[in-house]
Amino acid sequence: MSEFTNPSIGIDDVPAGGGFSFDHVHRNSLIERQLADNHNHNNHNKSSSILPLATKTGTTIVGLVYSNGIILGADTRSTNDTTVADKNCFKIHYIAPNIYCCGAGTAADTEKTTELIASQMELLRMNTGNAQSRVVTACTLLKRMLFRYQGYVSAALVLGGCDVHGPHLYQIYPHGSTGKLPYTTMGSGSLAAMAAFESSESGYRDDMEEEEALELVKRAVLAGVWNDLGSGSNVDTCIIRRDGTVLMGRNDVMPNEVGPLREKVRRSDNLNMRVGTTAVLKESFARNKSSAMGGVTLADVTVTPMET
């Protein structure tokens, strides 16, 4: 970052006078120039690595209401520009024991936003005699927070859960607008997933059974995995039932599993280093003089209590 702070590059070092400080004028001008270069698609040779890029979840996230609850689904790929940063990230976040939330957008924003709201929901339960959390309460807290930041918190969410009023599914946009729907998709692969939901033969319909609804969620996420470059890897699912039980399906579908293929590959034995390949010029062994036993004793071990 020295090019941002060295005033000898491009701009004369003129001391600021008066009551205003112009110490960061040079830095800001270079940052603005670098941002312009990052958005200039015609200049592919210039390096855009000076400014770090946020890790995006890319993402296909879906949710639907079925006869006995809610099913959420998400892929597991996170990207950093054109690079796959994580092949198996977790995009289904805990909000309350009966409420979960899928996140799309900037990975840090979705993670910390859901953690903050989960903390507030826990405090609310403690203040109300451990009463069951309401899905609309979580939706209200999320939309208020996102609206406060005017879209600069890049978190597009699919919120689902079951409470005393039944199953509820909400889509929440980064600017704070929300909608209550029987099924929804969000993220870069949302169009492909919505095509699976709205197909005439095997798409969504009211009062679906759990098995067929789960298969539809898997098929919708896989549509995003195969047709969207920002989505990929595996499929995670979350079933939230009316009776309060939750079934998490971590890596429920693994279409890109390479384990069986790697087992079929036979590496040449010439790549294995055998004993004696490297010549040993000298060997020596010295006992520990500080101990009469010539080794480590219990007196040499320091036990540190774990922080909890």
Residue closest to 185 by CA, chosen among 134, 225, 149, 242:
225
Asked if residue 244 lies in contact with residue 275, where contact means CB atoms within 8 angstroms, the answer is no
Asked if residue 166 lies in contact with residue 242, where contact means CB atoms within 8 angstroms, the answer is yes
Asked if residue 98 lies in contact with residue 133, where contact means CB atoms within 8 angstroms, the answer is yes
Asked if residue 138 lies in contact with residue 161, where contact means CB atoms within 8 angstroms, the answer is yes
DSSP category for residue 202: T
User: Residue 90 corresponds to which tokens in the numbers above?
Assistant: 């977790």
Q: Which candidate in 5, 57, 59, 113 is catalytic?
A: 59
User: Residue 155 corresponds to which tokens in the numbers above?
Assistant: 């978190």
User: Residue 19 corresponds to which tokens in the numbers above?
Assistant: 């009551």
Residue closest to 79 by CA, chosen among 104, 57, 97:
57
The enclosing H or E element of 191 equals: helix 190-197
- Output phi, psi for 91, to 5 deg: -110, 5
Angle between helix axes 190-197 and 210-227 (nearest 10 degrees) is 140
- Decide: helix, strand or coil at residue 96: strand
Does residue 110 carry a catalytic annotation? Answer: no
- The alpha-carbon radius of gyration of the chain (Å, integer) is 27
| Cα–Cα distance measured from residue 4 to residue 23, given in angstroms and rounded to the nearest whole number | 11
Asked if residue 196 lies in contact with residue 220, where contact means CB atoms within 8 angstroms, the answer is yes
DSSP category for residue 56: B
Which residues does the annotation mark as catalytic? 59
